[in-house]
Structure 1
Amino acid sequence: MSAASSRATLIEVAKLAGTSKTSVSRFFGPERERLTPSLQTRIANAATALGYQPNLMARGLKGGGSRLLGVLVADIRNPFSVAVVHGIEQAARTHGYSLIVCNTDNDPEQEQQHLRLLKSYQIEGLIINAAGQPEAQLQALKHSGVPLVLLDREVRQLDVDVIGLDNALAIDMALDHLVRQGYRSILYASEPPAYASTRQERLQRFNQQAERLGIKSQTLILSSSAPDFETLTAFVEHPGSSPGAVLCANGNVTLAMTRSFQQLDITLGQTGLMGIDELDWCELITPGITTLAQPTDDIGHAAVSCLLNQLNGSAQASPVRYRHAPRLQIRGSTTLVPNF
């Protein structure tokens, strides 16, 4: 007997559960709640006993709904991406959906290829952390009836729900903390902001607020090829008339700057270091690195909720912007120590 012919069928599940084929189909589709709890339990037990797995692709091609959601992230190695996808998966699983996750490595061309791939899989909704500005492809998906949610980054001329961090609030909280700690000269370190609206928003807010607060400010745009020791060294050695601190725009930058601090033997606290995004290792680096933690599970859950609202017709008439507040985690890297 071939592997294909040995697979349990929907009819066999129905027979073992003592119910109809229609009821089993409803259980594995969007109408599960129409079944009584006891019948749901019988079908679940029968499916488990037989090792039955529904063919989601076939159901999607028949118009029954694939129960698949697409998630497209710009950089799967980014700690934010890993954490928020975990939140998305939790929420999707609760509602009976599975994920197809694609990574673009911040490459707009790969992004377009993945968008074509996800469309071919008959996804019922898409959450995208855009690498470029794929307006045309996303507009086409939207017009074809696929619900869309933008994660963290916006796309020009695309009027859909956006879920992410309150970037203005994050910068405000960071500067307020650093100023309260006694730092008046701040180096803002970021990855290149060209294609990421989040990076642009944070950089713009930093410049605005630094000027308003009378802070001496500098900006360091990191290169992927090599760390910029020269700029950091000059900032540490000549911070101005008051102590200096480095504010990192995201988790990748925090890691890069922490390595630079170590290689240049810069004392944490004497020169402050603070990052947006909480990373597991931040509390392990003596004396600990102060961060603004993003509520990644909440962001992931909100993204799925927005998709489901669009799918069931309960979405608001106008797209929403859900901006979540970060949580300040104070550690020793922003505790000013004397320079002996």
Structure 2
Amino acid sequence: MSPTPRRSTILEVAHLAGASKTSVSRYFGEERGRLSPSLQAQIAQAADTLGYQPNLMARGLKGGRSKLIGMLVADIRNPFSVAITHGVEQACRQYGYSLVVCNTDNDPEQERQHLDLLGAYQVEGLVVNASGSPERQLHTFISQGTPIVLLDREVDHVEVEVVGLDNHLAIDMALEHLTEQGYQAVLYVSEAPQQSSPRQKRLSRFSHAAEQHGLNYATSLLATSDSTATLQALSDFLTTQQQHACAVLCGNGNATLTVTRLFQQLSLPLGKVGLMGIDELDWCALVPPGITTLAQPTDAIGKTAVQCLVHRIAPHTSSMPTTLCFAPTLIERGSTQR
């Protein structure tokens, strides 16, 4: 059996480079600029020859700086979560941080466990897309001086920045578009709003805005694993409103996918029966004649969340963003052209 490969040490790098241990430590830390270009080149060459990698965790624990940002994601399978995580990761890299992502699967118990784990890793900041109400644990982080930014979803009694979509504006834009296209009755389909403040805001705003536009309207909540109730609600709505031009507005990407399948199951013609979704998905352009969506600026939202954190961690590094609530972009396709 071959022996387990041994990690090279900082002393070995220093010896091979003809430099002091302090100089090598500076090279791999935040004081590289204090070294001459020739010394930097010598250390880089020695580290490359030995295959040396600094132990960032040990350095962070010793100096109180882990250079880690923690991120809780409610559902990593959700396309919105994937896109947001990309924006957060890009911004972390820009500011010199590494990202630790934990998926909670919308399970409050997993959320608590992941928060304990991120605390053990001594993350310098937290981006939280909450699945439960981790109020107590988040207050523990805050009391320890760890800044937190809430992504998309609010948490009761946790007074920190919340970065995400302008949900009221999204509903207003959607109904304005559908009205302009001549639709007179709209069914709103949403996942259950519990534990999700954006869903609650969109659902509440829908009823109010639909009345303002003089629309006939109804709502349907998706069951966790069975779309039978939504299929019945869609059929009943179309039957009840058969004298009017009908459309369906979907509250997020998962709802759009479910309703698109129901349209196909019922052989409903897209356009004659309108279909529109909040959240842009890659496949929306591929389903003829294309599904109209409101796209969230996910990169901007993710980067803004990190900018808020970095400002709290090191104010000299980043200014506080002026915009935390973002407008969506209308992507008009054939599904809302009568």
Q: TM-score, normalised by structure 2?
A: 0.91
Structure 2 matches for 1:161-180, cutoff 5 A?
A: 161-180=161-180
In 2, Cα distance between equivalents of 1:38 and 1:286: 61
Structure 2 matches for 1:1-340, cutoff 5 A?
A: 3=4, 6-14=6-14, 20-31=20-31, 46-227=46-227, 228-239=230-241, 241-313=243-315, 322-336=324-338
In 2, Cα distance between equivalents of 1:245 and 1:41: 65
In 1, Cα distance between equivalents of 2:38 and 2:160: 39
Which letter maps to 1:68? L
RMSD after superposition = 2.5
- CA 1:276–1:36: 2 relative to 1, 3 Å: farther
In 1, Cα distance between equivalents of 2:7 and 2:179: 65
Please give the secondary structure, in 2, of the residue aligned with 1:62: helix
- CA 1:46–1:91: 2 relative to 1, 3 Å: farther
Is the 8 Å Cα contact of residues 185 and 239 (structure 1) preserved in structure 2?
yes
- CA 1:181–1:34: 2 relative to 1, 3 Å: farther
- CA 1:252–1:13: 2 relative to 1, 3 Å: farther
- CA 1:235–1:25: 2 relative to 1, 3 Å: farther
In 1, Cα distance between equivalents of 2:280 and 2:42: 43
Please give the secondary structure, in 1, of the residue aligned with 2:154: coil
In 2, Cα distance between equivalents of 1:264 and 1:111: 39
- CA 1:62–1:283: 2 relative to 1, 3 Å: same
Is the 8 Å Cα contact of residues 179 and 213 (structure 2) preserved in structure 1?
no
Q: Deviations over 1:206-235 (max 9, x none)?
A: 122112221111111110131121111112
Q: Deviations over 1:38-91 (max 9, x none)?
A: 876765565445432221221232134111111100000000000110111111
Uncovered stretches (5+) of structure 2, i.e. residues with no partner: none
Which letter maps to 1:130? A
In 2, Cα distance between equivalents of 1:296 and 1:41: 39
In 1, Cα distance between equivalents of 2:225 and 2:184: 30
Which letter maps to 2:310? L
Please give the secondary structure, in 1, of the residue aligned with 2:183: coil
In 2, Cα distance between equivalents of 1:163 and 1:208: 24
Moved more, 84-93 or 319-328: 319-328
User: How far does residue 204 in structure 1 lie from its aligned partner after superposition?
Assistant: 1.3
Uncovered stretches (5+) of structure 1, i.e. residues with no partner: none
Q: Deviations over 1:128-153 (max 9, x none)?
A: 10001111110011111111110110
Moved more, 82-91 or 29-38: 29-38
Is the 8 Å Cα contact of residues 162 and 320 (structure 1) preserved in structure 2?
no
Q: Deviations over 1:150-194 (max 9, x none)?
A: 011011111111111111111111111111111121111100001
User: How far does residue 250 in structure 1 lie from its aligned partner after superposition?
Assistant: 0.6
Is the 8 Å Cα contact of residues 251 and 277 (structure 1) preserved in structure 2?
yes
User: How far does residue 316 in structure 1 lie from its aligned partner after superposition?
Assistant: 11
